[in-house]
Structure 1
Amino acid sequence: MALQLTFKLRYRTQFGQTLYITGNHELLGNLSLDRAVPMQYQDDNFWSVNFTETQLANIDALITYNYVLKNSDGSTVTDWGNDKTFNPATFTTSDVVMMDTWNHAGYFENAFYTVPFQNVLLKANYTDIAIKAPKKITHIFKAKAPLLAKGQTLCLIGNDKLLGKWDTSKPILMRRAEGDAYYEVAIDLSTATFPLSYKYGVYNTEQKQFAYYEGGSNRLLFNEASKSRQTIVNDGFAVLTNNQWKGAGVAIPVFSLKSNKSFGVGEFTDMHLLVDWAKKIGLKLIQILPINDTTATYKWMDSYPYAAISAFALHPIYLNVSQVADAANQAIVAAYEEQRKQINYLAELDYEAVMAAKTSIIKQLYPLQKAATFKSAAYQAFFEQNKHWLVPYASFCYYRDQYGSPVFTQWPANNQFVQAEIDALVAEDAPTYDALAIHYFIQFHLHQQLKAATQYAHQNGVVVKGDIAIGIYRDSVDAWQQPDLFHMELQAGAPPDDFAIKGQNWGFPTYNWQRMKQDGFAWWKQRFEQMSHYFDAFRIDHILGFFRIWSIPLHAVEGIMGYFVPAFPIHKNEFHERGIWFDLQRYTKPLINEGTLWDICGHNNDYIKENFLDFDGFGNYSLKPEFDTQRKVEQYFATQEASHYNLVIKQHLYDLISNVILFEVEGSNGEQFHFRFSMGQTTSFKQLASDTQAKLNDLYINYFFRRQDAFWKEEALQKLPALKRTTNMLICGEDLGLVPDCVSDVMKQLGLLSLEIQRMPKDPKTEFFHPNDAPYLSVVTPSTHDMSTIRGWWEEDKPRIQKFFNHELGQWGIAPTFCSGWLNKAIINQHLYSPAMWSIFQLQDLLGINEGIRRQNPNDERINVPAITPFYWRYRMHLSLEDLLNSHHFNEELSNSLQQSGRA
């Protein structure tokens, strides 16, 4: 028997727009957008498509589908979610109409169908009720209402007698099966009078009475019932208040945790105590920094958590070796007990000491426990699921140790990833097997311990938020294994800002997005999948990198020598069109004359001239060829005495080299250029005529703030929607820095949470951002790991703090010199009472409200200073988690604040 299946979508299109349907069935194009089925315009409210198929009638399987909007410019948007489904075997008629509503990804409600809410935060709200289906079903009504409380369900009521004639004492109750998104009810409307007018409402199952109607106008249903037709009405979200849920969380790196049993560093097992504390005071989220393996040199420089040698492997430093050791081998761990106590007592992390001790213990445990571990079903399942990254990672670690360096480009052999070589290396009968398999052993136990920690969090109503770094370490297994995914000739970073006036150079290669797109961003999808094993939500570090990335040539050291990629460059004709005198040498080469030398080098200019410059005989100088790039200068001074004077001279040379207006696009033959950021602050610019300065500045503003926006928006929309669809975790984008106008629009379209920081307003016309102005889909925080804490900030800039004290806190008089507990608490409360979905605080900022418990010196609380490279990431809690749990006065004070603000 043929099945007639009609899809009708409520959608009011604009001229030039068309709609398609796609799904995981051959009839619907098997999820290929190129094969999506076109729909027909029906009227101003509906598009439809009809299928008459015999093949569908015999299927007993769930088919998932979505609608696709194609714009006149060729861009596409897919409606959100994977909950539009049907199973042909459940149809009771041969004529079925699926009447759907478009689900915009930016709707607030979609956030509540992500993992943290469905699996943890809203799970206890589920209310099951029994409803009786009629013998004959003509219509099935479906709607979603994610924030109904325990004891509530949706109900249906309307104008027809079959819908209760608007009598709220007789609503039609709807039921949601556990784990499903929709509330549903099946009705026989074969004798109803159409069109129907109806609404959804909320019903209290405990009091057994109607509570209230949804908002908005009455809903209308025009199609008539038929004996041979069944209509499934998917009305999307009930119109209920969707922004009343609010939560608060704590942010702290795992390495900063301290318990009485820690081994000098926070471990995954310490997260259990952090969960206990969070639950005790009412926090609903724990946020951590990246936890990937950064072991490149075995020195303290590896403490930088954003320089992972693997985008997948966990860091061995977080392993609790006592839990790894079985009962027979506890003596091995016990032999290090005195050392453990000593380094655990330290105020800060001693990275090298911790790594050395743990590595020694693991090397002793591995030969004794490998056989039992590798035979276990849990290990075998772990290996099978993760071997795609685990085997290359173990191989890379082996070569790193064999050659004494992670710089694979300099290895005497094996500097390219060759699968046949790896297969031979990792064979179980190979002499190298144990040197590699120890990494399998470590990663398995890390996986077990982190998984246990996050499961414990879930059991206690707390969700865990991870952090996915935007970059990968240049000397990493990812770059070694798949170098074609990266632009190894460039370095990622950030342009100058108030926190790093020379910009930031992270040293990471940038992404080859064109290559990544060819396989559907498979590498990124694997990263997201890996995150989902442990986390409910995650922060995308520097989400601006999905729009454009600040790219720095390898010959440069400072971030200020970079430019955005991709970007439309300036063509030399634009200078002529604007009446700007153009001189290739003058604009693209460092301007070095007597005035420049005095401005930049001061009294050191004679030494600079004698040792590093050539004079052209006409009042200008040029850098000697051996010093004409920042990298050459860096390499030279690496061989010199590490004195303060040499540091000053090196910086002078860096500043001379960066004293340019334009960077020529490589291979453009002097035709195309990028502006140097902060061009107006260069001595080269200041020595131009005022008329030229004004015209150049207009072109500069056009280049950075106008011409790129639509282009960057298109770039992001090619990547982020596809990546977001691969995961159901809640995603927050770290959208700080020089933010293009398109970023906010794209994040709203995709329902990504923004990050809002009080002292870093996104509006350049304001000095501070007030938490009360935050959008609902956002995270508000007074500080991050890259910034000073509230107390540290209070002592940094007195004139700015004075404005903050008077205007943001509404206080009279002179601002106090130091941030007392009540001031710290006032700032915390501003964030707690924000309309944002989440307010998340560094632990240090929370401790700051209580002068009896907080650290004495706020400068000891800072985690990272971006302007200092390399920086030693070694901050640890000054009190143990056990002590924190027993700090009753502080806990009560903070708990009261959370409860009063409605976030507990």
Structure 2
Amino acid sequence: MDIIFHIEYYVYASEQVAINIVDAADGVTLHRHLMNTDDNAHWTFDWNADAWTADAADYFFTIEHAGTTLRREWTTIRHRLDLPRRPQTSVRVYCRWIDMPHDTYRYSSAFTECLHPHPVHPVHSPGDRCVRLVCRAPQLRSGHRLVLTGSDRILGEWNPQQGIPMTEHGYNEWVAEIAADLLTDTHLEFKFVIIPDDSSSPIWEECPNRHLTVTPASGLAVYELDQSFYPLSDERVAGTLIPVFSLRSEGSFGVGDFGDLSAMVDFVASTGQRVLQVLPINDTTVTHTWTDSYPYSCISVFALHPQYADLRQLPPLASASRRDHYARLQQQLNGIQQIDYERMMQAKEAYLHELYDQEGAEMMATDAFRTFFDEAAQWLVPYAQYCRLRDTTRTTDFSRWHGHTAWDEADRAALSTPGTAEYAEVAYYYFVQYILHTQMTAAHDHARRCGVILKGDIPIGVHRQSCDVWMEPGYFCLDGQAGAPPDDFAVDGQNWRFPTYNWQAMLDDGCQWWNRRFTNMAYYFDAYRIDHVLGFFRIWEIPIHAVRGLLGQFAPALAFTPEEIESYGLHFSTAMLAPVITDDMVDTLFGDRAGSVRHYCLDAVGNGTYTLRADYDTERKIADLVEAGRCDSQLLDGLYTLVDDVLFLADHRVAGTYHPRILARKTWAYRRLSDASRRAFDRLYDDFYYHRNNGFWYGEAMKKLPPLIEATHMLACAEDLGMVPSCVAPVMEQLRILSLEIQTMPKASTRFADVSRYPYRSVCTFSSHDMAPLRQWWDEDPLRTQDYYASVLHHDGEAPHPMPASLAEEVVAAHLASPSMLCVLSLQDWLALDDRLRLLDPNGERINIPANPHHYWRYRMHITIEQLSADAHFSQHISEMIERAGR
């Protein structure tokens, strides 16, 4: 088969257009060909496809220069050519370059598989003198079909009912085929028209009549046309946020599971909601204690957490006494108000071990297990070995795993081969992950059938002793800790203790680890939240010797040289890098314990100044001394303050360059500067944190995010809160990523955001999992609440406490009425609407406190999903509010 591709694209003299042809079946096999031109504008490539065995070919175009790709099309949805049935047919394809459309969200699986699923059918024409028109029409909804109509008789003479029915052969891409012999004129005048299945009026596209002159030859001529647009309003949907572990049903085992997730989907769908958002569901098992409850500290970005196994979906244990034992445990654990993480995990793991002994061999002999294993083996085999070593050595400190301090690829064969001793040692972990994958996939499929978008969460980091670090240490920088600079959540910053990423190593191999991560997530979700998207611009990197976030620095960043610092009018000295401790500092911080601190913790250097002794000169050393009982914990904050009292920090990567310390204007060192030096430091500080790095960080994000966003069809959303540089919004807009809008954390310089002015491409909510839910927030700060009551809700008088359901309804209704595409509220905020259902104590609704690095993540619904579903009044109330808001 001879296929000639044509495209018109103007380039510079030294550049070339290339066509990249991909096997539509596997999506991987790629053939790149430079195209031919006589004028650097009109390009052709003659492809002999005789050896091509697939029924279709996907392709995209790139601009090349000296072997380097300069630009490329949007590739999430590639061009698709369904090949004629007759292999001898000649084909000409008249293509058009496709940049990322403004409405990429309509091409996401959130829309194409959940909100508006359409069956997709290939089109294989006989190929003899046939004209094929191809058009993208992403606005079509369920119950819509597309018709080609126009002036020609074969096109129905402008009667849509007599036009040519079109076929959706790829996501949002429609095809019409016309036998050339039936055309009365080679010049076509036409439009694409939506025909609703409910017999309502046809919907005509908003554009002048289209015109095309076709030149059908003996074979097939394919014409790619501009996208079609229709007078249809943008869709807005509502949803609920709740962690899977927080779900409660009558049959769950002390924690929410994947069966509960399906039940929650049913409740969400019954109220007219179309989104269910959860927190990360990856395995976090490090110590087998409650500290593993932190869902953002995963040991594998691929493996699912065993706590989510729904035991009800598994074969029953053969022993009646063991069944009774676990039934009693289930009743005890499920009756506790909050999660007892340790007892729950001990019980679930014991059950899974017993089930593995009973069912494992049979279950793992199935074709379904083998398919799962083959698809997951790249990460699953190392993960299972990691878990075995963790459990047998009772530590995740792999530096202590003699002979196994790093993953050895040579171990893979034996670990993957049934019958070997090595396989037997790790098979249990394969078994558990297979169960989890099967159940989560089923929950995802169920959500799609219900028209509900499951939205997942991609944590910014991994545990520093995780399987990912053990397996691919080159991707991580273990000499730093990821965190966040000070903000309203944590005045001293946040130290997540995750390693930072070696982005250069990741970029060098095309971000394969991230691509695998996103691709794996697409098994389970149709939308995702990028946790701390600012980390793709720059991360707050804290040195290993620090505990708090105040000694962190942005990485990467354009740090100052001494000469640049001096150019602001500030005399630079290396003394600005170390604390200069004075008597007044010690007296102020420690009061009547100042003498003791001078005696045990400080060395005098003269002139009434001191330095910290070697045992006390870092936050980590001080914390270790307190933990060992060798230092009074009441001195901790004061000693930390002495350590942190510096104006500049040396850059972690580039010697001889320096960062102004965050919040340096609150230090004693700053106060000791002269007035002129303070003014100079202020100029330098403001330039560094708000101007100097913006262009640089824009470039960093645009190297990392585009290939990840295009790796899957999931809808991309991001948490873009915190100390947000001005370059973030343009990147989010350019990549069509939905922002997160929270009324009490406005992006403009106001106290409360105006929800009526939110962008369409956004997710709006009142509270995230890191914040106080609505009712708790209402009571936290009476002055702030009074301001909100008067200026946002426009009420006179004194704000009532506690918050009545009627006011909660006003807040929720305003959010539902916002322009945001997604309005996703926490379950706690939905329950605030009903005095009968809400938890009596609003302080019991909080999921996380970011300022506490040792927070116990144990919140559970206080009523069951069954009770929620049976409450017709509450469900109807939500449904009516959503309907009134036009969602």
Larger deviation: 627-636 or 730-739?
A: 730-739
Matched, 1:876 2:860: yes
Q: In 1, Cα distance between the equivalents of 2:51 and 2:409?
A: 47
| Cα-to-partner distance string for 1:800-849 (whole Å, 9 max, x where unaligned) | 22222222222223222322111111111112112211111111110011
**2:777 alignment counterpart:** 793
Percent sequence identity is 34
Q: 1:95 to 1:366 in 2, by over 3 A?
A: closer
What code does the residue aligned with 2:647 have? I
How do residues 429-578 of structure 1 correspond to structure 2 at under 5 angstroms?
434-578=424-568
Q: Pick one of 733, 748, 751 that aligns with 2:718.
A: 733
What does residue 104 of structure 1 align with? 99
Counterpart CA distance in 1 for 2:288 and 2:398 is 16
Is residue 20 of structure 1 aligned with residue 10 of structure 2? no
1:835 to 798, 819, 836: 819
CA contact (8 A) 2:622 2:636 kept: yes
1:142 aligns to what SS in structure 2? strand
Alpha-carbon distance, 1:320 to partner: 2.7
Within the alignment, does 1:860 sit opposite 2:844 as a pair? Answer: yes
1:508 counterpart SS class: strand
Q: Which amino acid in structure 2 is aligned with residue 649 of structure 1?
A: L
Partner of 1:245, secondary structure, is coil
Structure 2 CA distance for partners of 1:171 and 1:205, relative to 1, 3 Å:
farther
1:825 aligns with 809
Q: Which residue of 2 aligns with 1:651?
A: 637
C-alpha distance after superposition, 1:139-191 (max 9, x if no partner): 432222233345543344556777667x4577634412466532222346787
Counterpart of 2:132 in structure 1 is: 140
The 5 Å alignment of 1:162-181 reads 167=158, 172-177=163-168, 180-181=171-172
Any stretches of 5+ residues in structure 2 without a counterpart? Answer: none
- Residues 101-129 of structure 1: CA deviation (Å, up to 9, x unaligned): 44332521x32222232223212x66999
1:890 matches 2:874: yes
Q: How does 1:234-249 map to 2 (within 5 A)?
A: 234-241=224-231, 243-249=233-239
Cα RMSD of the aligned pairs, angstroms, is 3.3
Q: Describe the superposition over 1:858-893 as per-residue Cα deviations: whole angstroms up to 9, x where unpaired.
A: 110000000011100000111111111122221221
Indicate the SS of the match to 1:248. strand
1:631 to 611, 616, 620: 620
Question: What amino acid is the match of 1:377?
Answer: D
Q: Is the 8 A contact 2:809 2:833 kept in 1?
A: yes
Change (3 A) 1:409 1:466: same
Question: What is the aligned partner in structure 1 of residue 584 from structure 2?
Answer: 595
Choose which of 115, 127, 137 in structure 1 pairs with 2:109: 115
**Equivalent residue in structure 1 for 2:177, among 186, 200, 219:** 186
The secondary structure found in structure 1 opposite 2:603 is strand
Inter-CA distance 18–751: structure 2 relative to 1 (3 Å threshold): farther
Q: TM-score when scaled to structure 2?
A: 0.92
Describe the superposition over 1:317-343 as per-residue Cα deviations: whole angstroms up to 9, x where unpaired.
122334434362454232132232122
My pick for the range that moved more, 298-307 or 420-429, is: 420-429
SS of alignment partner, residue 506 of structure 1: strand
For the Cα contact (< 8 Å) 2:405–2:470, is it kept in 1?
Answer: yes
Deviation at 1:423, TM superposition (A): 5.6
User: CA separation of 1:309/1:31 partners in 2, compared to 1, >3 Å: closer, same or farther?
Assistant: closer
Candidates 701, 708, 711, aligned match of 1:716: 701
Q: Which of 340, 343, 354 pairs up with 2:344? A: 354
Equivalent pairs counted in the alignment come to: 882
Rounded to whole Å, the distance in 2 between the matches of 1:105 and 1:334 is 58
Per-residue deviation at 1:574? 0.8
**Who is 1:7 aligned against?**
6
Contact 1:160–1:192, Cα closer than 8 Å, also in 2: yes
- Distance in 2 (CA, whole Å) between partners of 1:523 and 1:734 is 21
Q: Is 1:213 aligned with 2:212?
A: no
d(CA) in 2 for partners of 1:315, 1:629: 36
Q: For the structure 1 residues 188 and 448, does the alpha-carbon distance in structure 2 shift closer, same or farther, using more than 3 Å as the test?
A: closer
What is the aligned counterpart of 2:145 among 147, 150, 153? 153
After superposition, the Cα gap between the structure-2 partners of 1:602 and 1:140, relative to the gap in structure 1 and judged at 3 Å, is farther
Shift of 1:744: 1.9
Q: Is the 8 A contact 1:470 1:540 kept in 2?
A: yes
Q: Which SS does the other structure have where 2:252 is aligned?
A: coil
In the alignment, the residues of structure 2 paired with residue 200 and residue 267 of structure 1 have an alpha-carbon distance, to the nearest angstrom, of 46
- The match for 1:378 is 368
- Which residue matches 1:680? 665
User: 1:425 and 1:150 mapped to 2: Cα distance?
Assistant: 47
Distance 1:275 1:686, change over 3 A: same
Distance apart, 1:772 and its partner CA: 1.9
Quote the Cα distance in structure 1 between the aligned partners of 2:36 and 2:94.
13
Q: Distance in 2 between matches of 1:211 and 1:164?
A: 14
- Whole-angstrom CA distance in 2 between matches of 1:851 and 1:709: 48
Superposition deviation, residue 700 in structure 1: 1.6
**Contact 1:143–1:235 (CA under 8 A) maintained in structure 2:** yes
Q: Retained in 2: the 8 A contact 1:474–1:509?
A: yes
Task: Find the residue that maps to 2:579 and give its secondary structure.
Answer: coil
Secondary structure at 2:382 match in 1: helix
CA contact (8 A) 1:122 1:147 kept: no
- Distance in 2 (CA, whole Å) between partners of 1:16 and 1:543 is 38
Q: Quote the Cα distance in structure 2 between the aligned partners of 1:91 and 1:421.
A: 49
Deviates more, 1:307-316 or 1:600-609: 600-609
Three-state SS of the structure 2 residue aligned to 1:597 is helix
* 1:22/1:32 contact within 8 Å kept: no
Structure 1's 36 and 556: CA in aligned 2 closer, same or farther, altered over 3 A? farther
CA contact (8 A) 1:303 1:874 kept: yes
In 2, Cα distance between equivalents of 1:392 and 1:116: 32
Residue 846 (str. 1) matches residue 830 (str. 2):
yes
TM-score, with length taken from structure 1: 0.90
Instruction: Tell me the secondary structure at the aligned position of residue 290 of structure 1.
Output: coil
Instruction: Please state how far the C-alpha of 1:38 moved relative to its aligned partner.
Output: 5.8
Residues 75 and 422 (structure 1), Cα distance of their counterparts in 2 relative to 1, 3 Å cut: closer
Residues 370 and 827 from structure 1, CA distance in 2 versus in 1: closer, same or farther, beyond 3 angstroms?
same
Spell out, residue by residue over 1:34-93, the C-alpha distance to the aligned partner (whole angstroms, 9 max, x if none): 9663676979xxx43112454569876422222336799985342244341225546999
1:190-221 deviations in Å (ceiling 9; x for gaps): 877787654433345654x8634322444444
What letter matches 1:788 in structure 2? A
Q: Using the alignment, how far apart are the partners of 2:841 and 2:862 within structure 1? A: 11
Alignment check: 8 A CA contact 2:133 2:222 kept: yes
Equivalent-residue separation in structure 1 for 2:36 and 2:642 (angstroms): 62
After superposition, the Cα gap between the structure-2 partners of 1:399 and 1:107, relative to the gap in structure 1 and judged at 3 Å, is: same
Q: Aligned letter for 2:204?
A: Y
- Quick check: 1:100–1:236 contact (8 Å CA) kept in 2? no
Note if contact 2:626-2:636 (Cα within 8 Å) is conserved in structure 1. Answer: yes
Alignment-mate amino acid for residue 524 of structure 1: W
**Structure 2: how far apart are the matches of 1:704 and 1:163?**
61
Please tell me whether the aligned partners of residues 85 and 124 of structure 2 are also in contact (alpha carbons under 8 angstroms): no
CA spacing shift, 1:248–1:374, aligned 2, 3 Å: same
| CA distance, structure 1, for counterparts of residue 399 and residue 846 of structure 2 | 35
Moved more, 280-289 or 360-369: 360-369
The whole-number CA distance in structure 2 between the counterparts of 1:99 and 1:721 is 27
**CA 1:698–1:219: 2 relative to 1, 3 Å:** farther
CA gap 1:561/1:388 in 2 versus in 1, 3 angstroms: same
**Aligned-partner Cα distance in 1 for 2:390–2:707:** 35
CA contact (8 A) 1:542 1:733 kept: yes
Cα contact 1:471–1:508 (8 A) shared by 2? yes
Distance 1:440 1:618, change over 3 A: same
- Distance, in Å, in 2 between the alignment partners of 1:603 and 1:76 is 67
Gaps of 5+ in 1: none
Shift of 1:460: 2.3
2:333 corresponds to: 343
